[in-house]
Structure 1
Amino acid sequence: MNILPRLMYPLQMLPNSIPNSWFANLDKMFTQFIWQGKKARMKISKLQRARDQGGLGVPNVQLYYWAAQMRYIYEWVNPEPTNTWIDMESWNCGLLTLKNCPFITYKKVKLEVQNNFIVRNTLNTWNKMMSCFGFKNHFSLLAPIWKNPDFVPSCHDAVYKFWHEKGLDRLVKLYEGGAVESFEALKSKYSLLQSHFFRYLQIRHYIPKNRHAQNTFLEDLLIQPISKRFISQIYKTFGLNFNHSTDNIRKQWQNDIGEQIEEKVWTSIIKNTHRILSCNTDRETQFKILHRLHCTPLLRSRFGLGSPNCIKCCSEIGTYTHMVWKCCKIQHFWSDVKEEVATLLGYGLELTPSHPQNTTTQAAGTNLTLWTYKQHKNINKLLHRNANFE
């Protein structure tokens, strides 16, 4: 896989704001390659999910690009003396300093940095990230108290500069225990003067009511230390914060087998889909079964391509569950699996399509879920020989 590194180099080096349409066209190319020019049977967004979330881990280039841009924003907020390029980028930013730019309203900060195309493009990408994750109108408590274009008095009143010099530099420092502290508490903590009480009322009025001291995960990424594999960690965090639900697939399996599948069991099934077998072909087969991508006789009949009956027993409707579990011909196969488990692992296995509740199995520390196939090579050979039911 040498395509992604070749793409990442220019995406990291060029300070351009890339439109969403460019990434959409790239996803179309990936889709054509994965499905070999045929009609896609699953959205690329599902394939781009992490393996633990029911996907195949196909690279999402846009998220990688965002992660690469986050690296520079992180260094803005956490500058080091060795990063001399920060001094170059901070030129012509108006009232603002780079470390405060991500926490100010995009409309205001865009006016301040409109003559600095590098910073402007980076902040444009930051704004796209905030919008994508549902934080477009987020009021950040990491915003500065002094020289904050959103809070006009701070740009003219020298008292807020005094607060800044005393350490009261961000809105979040006004909070204690999730709520804004009293003026007396702040005065004692930061050595403020009694004459500053009116400024305290001003800034308390500026902060929206019921705004608790809670940051977005994007803001947390900027203030938490990240040492190694920065882009990979950010990319993984992006993936975890998308709402990837596989409940619709779980409900379909529950309806087929007539039993409830617990959330913990379902999560284990998804994870084991890619972990039990070492062969990529077998993993692909498991993935297709999990997401019900095979064309069953019932589905083919709806397209006018044949009888809806099972191709093995020819007597019952070929639904997904029937083809994998209920068919009398397949039951002979599962009986062989049970015998192999008893011979090789030394304990009995209850033949059930749901997660086994056998205490002996749990004590052995082995997750034997019939939907995710078994880990021993001999059992895998049996499965590989009998799993082709298209």
Structure 2
Amino acid sequence: MKVLVGWCDPTCEAKWKEVDLSYRDIPLQSWLGDHCFIKKHIDSDLIPLWIKGPLDIWHKILKQVKTERNARILRWPVYDRDFLPARMDKRFTQWSQKGITSYWKITKNNELKSFKQLQDNYNLEKCDFFRYLQLRHYYNKSIKYLEEDEAGILKILLDSSNGRPPKKTISKLYACLQTERKCNKTYIKTKWEKEAKITINEEVWLNICNSVIHMSSSGLWKEFSWKCLVRFFVTPNIKSKYCNDTEKAKCWRNSGNVSAGHFHIFWECIKIAPYWSEVIKEINTKMDLNLCCDFTVVFLGNLPRN
């Protein structure tokens, strides 16, 4: 994604960018608003793999309805295959040479600028007025934002096109992707509640998630604790569904359980229960605490705030 930001940013000067932009006569920046056009080139052998890579990632993001629709603002009228007048009238090529490139450049507050403004800024002639009407009609029908995104990936590309690339680009892109995925861990809480036959309120769940983050300075143990919390490991129950074999759902410790899920494997199994009793007893003795041997406290990490 950072490559796309570099393509759009006119202040970015790099040899790799010169090489990328030299492969086709049509500017790569103008492709970013047309997912069908991108798909066509991803499937062909006309461009090298290091250009296909970023385009493929962008194409997957564009599959979201809102993103695909709003990203059309990145198109250039002269190269817009859906804008028929540009395909029949070479005058739009001259517009491009005068500086009328992408749609975002000639809009303000989601509206196409007036003909007078374009005439003053780009030295258009009176005979261009009809072409302007054609462009305005097409813009209002097919390009105009359905809903403006103030903090999404498209905003980053538009700011970069204006010569204002974000600082810490990778972090900003990552944050946008995570937000658009609408990641939510509530479904994990629900699974624990169902298996353990308990109720975990929102405050407790937040405390559990925070405990995992702050429980150790070791990245290795943080990762392991997080994997336990989010039910990362494959249990006999999960394996039986993969293999379509109910026999494989039995507890691998031969405890007699015929449907061993995460709660059983990590807590309930009669062969591991004594281990947890010893662990909590030792902690209470050494640290002079009085923690109860409870699943949400010992395993999930709902520790007292003090």
1:132, 1:260 → 2: CA distance? 36
Deviations 1:21-55 (A, max 9, x none): xxxxxxxxxxxxxxxxxxxxxxxxxxxxxxxxxxx
Task: Give the alignment partner of residue 301 of structure 2, picking from 360, 366, 372.
Answer: 372
Amino acid at match of 2:187: N
Distance 1:267 1:78 in 2: 40
Query: Which residue of the other structure, out of 211, 235, 252, is the alignment partner of 2:145?
Result: 211
The residue that corresponds to 1:99 in the other structure is 29
* Identity of matched residues, %: 17
1:303 aligns with 2:250: yes
- In the alignment, the residues of structure 1 paired with residue 113 and residue 267 of structure 2 have an alpha-carbon distance, to the nearest angstrom, of 60
Shift of 1:212: 3.2
Once the two structures are superposed, what CA deviation does each residue of 1:242-262 show, in whole Å capped at 9, x if it has no partner? 454433321022332532431
Which structure 2 segments of 5+ residues have no match?
A: 241-246
Partner residue in 2 for 1:161:
94
CA spacing shift, 1:349–1:136, aligned 2, 3 Å: closer
Q: Tell me what 1:83 maps to.
A: 14
TM-superposed deviation, 1:91: 3.8
Residue 141 of structure 1 and its aligned partner are, at CA, apart by 0.1
User: CA distance change for structure 1 residues 349 and 175 in 2, over 3 Å: closer, same or farther?
Assistant: farther
Cα separation, 1, equivalents of 2:23 and 2:60 = 28
- Kindly tell me: are residues 170 and 267 of structure 1, through their superposed partners in 2, closer, same or farther at Cα, counting changes over 3 Å? farther
Q: Give the direction of change, closer, same or farther, for the CA distance of 1:237–1:369 in structure 2 (3 Å limit).
A: farther
Q: Distance in 2 between matches of 1:218 and 1:284?
A: 28
1:125 matched to 2:53? The reply is: yes
Distance 1:244 1:135, change over 3 A: same
Is the 8 Å Cα contact of residues 106 and 127 (structure 1) preserved in structure 2?
Answer: no
Distance (Å, rounded) in 1 between the aligned partners of 2:230 and 2:35: 42
Alpha-carbon contact 2:75-2:103 (below 8 Å) kept: yes
| Alpha-carbon distance in structure 2 between the residues aligned to 1:84 and 1:284 | 39
Distance between the aligned counterparts of 1:296 and 1:159, measured in 2? 65
Deviation string, structure 1 residues 288-339 (Cα, Å, up to 9, x no partner): 5414448699x99952733349xxxxxxx96866569xx7995786577567
Residue 307 and residue 281 in structure 1: after superposition, are their counterparts in 2 closer, same or farther (change >3 A)? farther
Distance (Å, rounded) in 1 between the aligned partners of 2:23 and 2:279: 72
Q: 1:203 to 1:252 in 2, by over 3 A?
A: same
Alignment check: 8 A CA contact 1:92 1:115 kept: no
CA separation in 2, counterparts of 1:87 and 1:131? 22
Equivalents in 2 of 1:219, 1:234: separation in Å? 10
Structure with the bigger RCO (C-alpha within 8 Å, sep 6+) is: 2
Equivalent residue, structure 1, for 2:214: 275
2-structure distance, mates of 1:163, 1:125: 28
Shift of 1:153: 2.6
Q: Which runs of 5+ in 1 are unaligned?
A: 1-69, 310-316, 355-367, 377-390
8 Å CA contact retained: 1:250, 1:261: no
Distance 2:38 2:227 in 1: 49
- Report the CA distance shift for 1:294/1:93 in structure 2 as closer, same or farther (over 3 A): closer
* Residue correspondence of structure 1 range 349-364 to structure 2 within 5 A: none
C-alpha spacing 1:349/1:84, structure 2 compared with 1 (3 Å)? closer
Per the normalisation by structure 2, the TM-score is 0.60
Matched-pair contact (CA < 8 Å) for 2:30–2:76? yes
For residue 123 of structure 1, report the CA deviation from its aligned partner. Answer: 4.7
Higher helix share: 2
Q: CA RMSD in A?
A: 5.1
Aligned equivalents of 1:294 and 1:141: distance in 2?
45
Residue 56 of structure 2 aligns with an amino acid whose one-letter code is: K
Cα distance change, pair 337–78 in 1 and its aligned pair in 2 (3 A): same
Structure 1 residues 186 and 178 mapped into 2: Cα distance closer, same or farther (>3 Å)? same
Partner amino acid, structure 1, of 2:24: C
2:199 corresponds to which residue? 259
Q: In structure 1, what is the Cα distance between the partners aligned to 2:228 and 2:20?
A: 51
Q: Is the partner of 2:208 in helix, strand or coil? A: helix
